[in-house]
Amino acid sequence: MELDALDRGGFLRLAGTLGAGLVFAVYLPGCGRSSTSSSSAPFAPNAWVRIAPDNTVTVVVNKSEMGQGVATGLPTIVADELDADPNLLKFEFAPADQQYIDPVYGAMITGGSTSVKDMWMPLRTAGATARAMLIAAAAQQWSLDPSACTAKNGVVYHSASNRTASYGSLTAIASGLKVPTNVPLKRPDQFTIIGQQHQRLDIPQKLNGTAEYGIDVRVPGMLYAAIARSPVFGGKVKSFDPKAAKAVAGVVDVVQVSNGVAVVAKNTWSAFQGKNALQIDWDDGPNANLTTEALFAEAEELARTHRGELVALSRGNTETAKGTVVEATYRGPFLAHTTMEPQNATADVREDRCEVWAPNQVQQRSQQEAVNVTGLPLEKCVVHTTLLGGGFGRRLESDYVREAVEVSKAVKAPVKVMWTREDDIQNEFYRPMSVNVVRGVLANGTLTSLSHQVVSQSWLKRWHPQWLKNGVDMLSMAEAVDAPYYVPNFKATFIDHEHGIPVGSWRAPDANWNGFVTESFIDELAHAAGKDPLTFRLALFEKTPRAAGVLRLAAEKAGWGKRQGAGIAQGLAVVFWGGSYAALVADVSMVNNMPKVHRVVAAVDCGTVINPRIVEQQAQSAVIYGLSAALTNKITLERGRVQQHNFYDYLSLRLADSPPIDVYVVPSKESPTGVGELCTPPIAPAVANAVFTLTGKRVRQLPFSDALRA
């Protein structure tokens, strides 16, 4: 069978339909090697790994690379069990295809800091199986028993006879072998690549302009489109006049799509200009007079009346516990993601097939958008995932894909739909606004009862309703229901505040807000009990020794309790997210009534570390992301319209204001858990707790600029 006639997606799909069978692919002609006849055959024992005669090992990555390092992390797992040469490792992104689902989610999704955790066993098995087959192939070539051979660094050895065979030289024989089952995996102490500081595989292309993001996709004959969307959520086009837009140089067409009106042009700039020139009469719909202020009042009313309140978790009795009662209400704003690359997608709709190129975190949803718009069968809709210029949860949505497919279908040409930054900030699936009421009871300085009421809009009920538990969205309750503290009387409740503003997943949903509440309130309780916030927390970590571990480590490295510089105080916070634990200590002073962060110490326990440098990068990245938002960011509405536009009124931390972040990792032999989002939730409360020490002012609302300058 000639495979070079098929596209890569076809190749991979074929590999999958053959299941455990082997693919005899004839491509890579000319990759020289001498000893066997069909020397150009790559060896592909499963959907995840392909070994070519030139010794390169390609790992198919079923997760989206958005900076978190997954295109290095997942290949590393395969490479270690395979005993591959890490310098010959390559990656390739999987097409939308059922064989590439995440086994826990049951779908292709990159989110929730789960990639390494969920793919750990399947990829180890894939690597170990391939290794066993390569050893068997060498043994067959040498007429030996496989048990006499070993493998290391991409080479099979028979030490007794001093013979070696590179993996690339064995592809043809290995391809003829039966795929074994139950191949034993390595013990952690046998890992040679996992845990090492190997370089990221995606970096070279990101230094010279060759990396391809969604915005860089170019298809022959492609047009560029910009879309005018309703300024009010839920609004509709009443009528529009395309004349002025069509008069703009370079504009070739104006078409209505479900999301608004698209201007199609010969280049991006003309599309943007045409969009600005459009005359549209909007029906603003039911949200025309919405303000965030009114929404907060509504949420507070819900909190008071308990209307629609559902219990997420309850033990003991929080009503009857006796002692000193501490109570507080916290308010969290809507937030935008502002991925560095604005949303975009490219689609090419033909009579009989549809192709999509998109920086997305949800390949199958993107594929389904194409199916829904075109009516074509699933297998005729191909989705290519490019590199993502940031994700942070925004690209768990596929609205931009639908737009591109609709416009391409309407104009019968390949089209890239490009969003401006203003489009991006104003047409979001925001981090939900939230009102949280917390109540604690202290008996002789010990916390005996804790309750946490969350009033927020569930995004999961729209996004994946099957994951609600007894009607409760447990992601809306993250860090409210599963913060690592054990308190004998405990209750966590949820009220779904339906308000018509689109909400979605934002880095560490929705621990990023509930964690602020929990960690600030625990600090309030510690102060009310007259205890040091460190010892107060440690007393509550009896059942969660790993939480105690990271907290002790961070406190020790940061010099907790010792005098820091003049005017500097420390605040700390802990988090449990993605199966991992982290603790942060922030050194803070006050400048112009705003916190200035001088240094952050982070301690992370994420089980087995695949690549320590990527863990460090992710911890730092998550801190900067959380701090950026906490200092000044909020999305507000007036007359139903988002008031923020671009980086001049939705600020992002820059280099000069970014503190150094020292990351310490707890050594562990546990299975690996998530680290991509882990350190976003605890940074704001760590800073707020230091602000309390410095000023006596408790921050119960974010951003800091609102709480402290009001």
Residue 646 interacts, among other proteins, ligand FES, none and using kind-specific CB cut-offs from 5 to 8 Å, with other proteins
Residue 39 interacts, among other proteins, ligand FES, none and using kind-specific CB cut-offs from 5 to 8 Å, with none
To ligand FES, the closest distance from the beta carbon of 653 in angstroms equals 12
Residue placing its CB nearer to other proteins in the complex, 205 or 258: 205
224 touches other proteins by CB under 8 A: yes
d(Cα 400, Cα 385) in Å, to the nearest integer? Answer: 13
d(Cα 405, Cα 428) in Å, to the nearest integer? Answer: 19
Residue placing its CB nearer to other proteins in the complex, 120 or 625: 625
Cβ pair 363, 385 in contact under 8 A: yes
To ligand FES, the closest distance from the beta carbon of 340 in angstroms equals 4
Nearest to 343 by CA among 397, 381, 384: 397
To other proteins, the closest distance from the beta carbon of 645 in angstroms equals 9
Residue 661 interacts, among other proteins, ligand FES, none and using kind-specific CB cut-offs from 5 to 8 Å, with other proteins
214 touches ligand FES by CB under 6 A: no
d(Cα 251, Cα 272) in Å, to the nearest integer? Answer: 10
| Rounded alpha-carbon distances, angstroms, from residue 680 to 65, 413, 484, 577, 655 | 19, 42, 16, 10, 18
To ligand FES, the closest distance from the beta carbon of 588 in angstroms equals 25
To ligand FES, the closest distance from the beta carbon of 544 in angstroms equals 33
To ligand FES, the closest distance from the beta carbon of 451 in angstroms equals 39
Residue 208 interacts, among ligand FES, other proteins, none and using kind-specific CB cut-offs from 5 to 8 Å, with other proteins
Q: Give the 3-state secondary structure of residue 136.
A: helix
Residue 392 interacts, among ligand FES, other proteins, none and using kind-specific CB cut-offs from 5 to 8 Å, with other proteins
Residue placing its CB nearer to ligand FES in the complex, 242 or 391: 391
617 touches other proteins by CB under 8 A: yes
Nearest to 706 by CA among 225, 330, 288: 330
d(Cα 466, Cα 412) in Å, to the nearest integer? Answer: 37
Residue 320 interacts, among other proteins, ligand FES, none and using kind-specific CB cut-offs from 5 to 8 Å, with none
State the first-to-last Cα distance of the chain, in angstroms, to the nearest integer: 71
Residue placing its CB nearer to other proteins in the complex, 61 or 149: 61
To ligand FES, the closest distance from the beta carbon of 564 in angstroms equals 30
Query: Under 8 Å CB-to-CB from 203, ≥6 apart: which residues?
Result: none
Residue 640 interacts, among ligand FES, other proteins, none and using kind-specific CB cut-offs from 5 to 8 Å, with none
Number of alpha carbons in the 13 Å side-chain half-sphere of residue 236 = 4
Query: Angle CA(217)–CA(219)–CA(224) in degrees, nearest 5?
Result: 75
Q: Which residue is nearest to ligand FES (CB)?
A: 340
Residues 156-185 that bind ligand FES (CB under 6 A): none
Rg (CA), the chain: 27
d(Cα 112, Cα 676) in Å, to the nearest integer? Answer: 8
484 touches ligand FES by CB under 6 A: no
To ligand FES, the closest distance from the beta carbon of 527 in angstroms equals 38
Kindly state the number of chain residues that form the binding site for other proteins, as judged by CB under 8 A: 64
Q: Residues 384-413 vs ligand FES: string with x where CB under 6 A? A: ------x-----------------------
643 touches other proteins by CB under 8 A: no
340 touches ligand FES by CB under 6 A: yes
602: alpha, beta or left, given left = phi > 0 and alpha = psi -120 to 50? Answer: beta
Q: Residues 94-133 vs other proteins: string with x where CB under 8 A? A: ----------------------------------------
Residues 158-217 that bind other proteins (CB under 8 A): 199-200, 202-213, 215-216
Q: Which segment (288-296, 475-483, 601-609, 646-654) binds other proteins by CB under 8 A?
A: 646-654
Cβ pair 636, 689 in contact under 8 A: no
67 touches ligand FES by CB under 6 A: yes
To other proteins, the closest distance from the beta carbon of 69 in angstroms equals 7
d(Cα 439, Cα 449) in Å, to the nearest integer? Answer: 8
- Enter the tokens of residue 600: 């952050």
d(Cα 129, Cα 569) in Å, to the nearest integer? Answer: 54
Residue placing its CB nearer to ligand FES in the complex, 361 or 673: 361
d(Cα 486, Cα 477) in Å, to the nearest integer? Answer: 16
Long-range residue pairs from 47-51, CB within 8 A, at least 24 positions apart, any chain: 47/12, 47/15, 47/16, 47/94, 47/99, 47/100, 47/126, 48/78, 48/122, 48/123, 48/126, 48/127, 49/78, 49/82, 49/126, 49/127, 49/130, 51/130, 51/134, 51/167, 51/168, 51/171, 51/174
Query: Under 8 Å CB-to-CB from 100, ≥6 apart: which residues?
Result: 47, 60, 62, 94, 108, 363
To ligand FES, the closest distance from the beta carbon of 165 in angstroms equals 41
To other proteins, the closest distance from the beta carbon of 411 in angstroms equals 17
Q: Which segment (138-146, 283-291, 334-342, 540-548) binds other proteins by CB under 8 A?
A: 334-342
Phi, psi of 93 (to 5 degrees): -85, 140
620 touches other proteins by CB under 8 A: yes
Residues 400-459 that bind other proteins (CB under 8 A): 418, 420-421
Kindly state the number of chain residues that form the binding site for ligand FES, as judged by CB under 6 A: 3
Nearest to 128 by CA among 49, 60, 72: 49
Phi, psi of 661 (to 5 degrees): -125, 110
To ligand FES, the closest distance from the beta carbon of 675 in angstroms equals 17
Residues 265-284 that bind other proteins (CB under 8 A): 267-270, 272
Residue placing its CB nearer to other proteins in the complex, 216 or 524: 216
Candidates 73, 274, 389, 393; binder of other proteins (CB under 8 A) is: 389
Cβ pair 681, 626 in contact under 8 A: yes
Candidates 22, 44, 170, 653; binder of other proteins (CB under 8 A) is: 653
Residue placing its CB nearer to ligand FES in the complex, 249 or 340: 340
Q: Which segment (153-161, 406-414, 438-446, 650-658) binds other proteins by CB under 8 A?
A: 650-658
To other proteins, the closest distance from the beta carbon of 68 in angstroms equals 7
Cβ pair 196, 611 in contact under 8 A: yes
Q: Residues 369-388 vs other proteins: string with x where CB under 8 A? A: ------------------xx
Buried b (16+ CB within 10 A) or exposed e, 226-264: bbbbbbbbbbebeebebeebeebebbbbbbebebbbbbb
3-state SS track over 525-565: HHHHCCCCHHHHHHCCCCCCHHHHHHHHHHHHHHCCCCCCC
Residue placing its CB nearer to ligand FES in the complex, 390 or 533: 390
Q: Please state the length of the chain.
A: 710
Residues 67-96 that bind other proteins (CB under 8 A): 67-69
676 touches ligand FES by CB under 6 A: no
3-state SS track over 419-437: CCHHHHHHCCCEECCEEEE
Q: How many CB atoms lie under 10 A from the CB of residue 297?
A: 12
Residue 583: in which H helix or E strand, if any?
A: strand 580-591
d(Cα 393, Cα 509) in Å, to the nearest integer? Answer: 9
Q: Residues 37-56 vs other proteins: string with x where CB under 8 A? A: --------------------
Judged by the rule CB under 6 A, the positions of this chain that interact with ligand FES are 67, 340, 390
Give the footprint of other proteins on this chain (CB under 8 A): 65-69, 199-200, 202-213, 215-216, 218, 224, 249-250, 267-270, 272, 338-342, 387-392, 418, 420-421, 613, 617, 620-625, 628, 646-648, 652-656, 658, 660-661
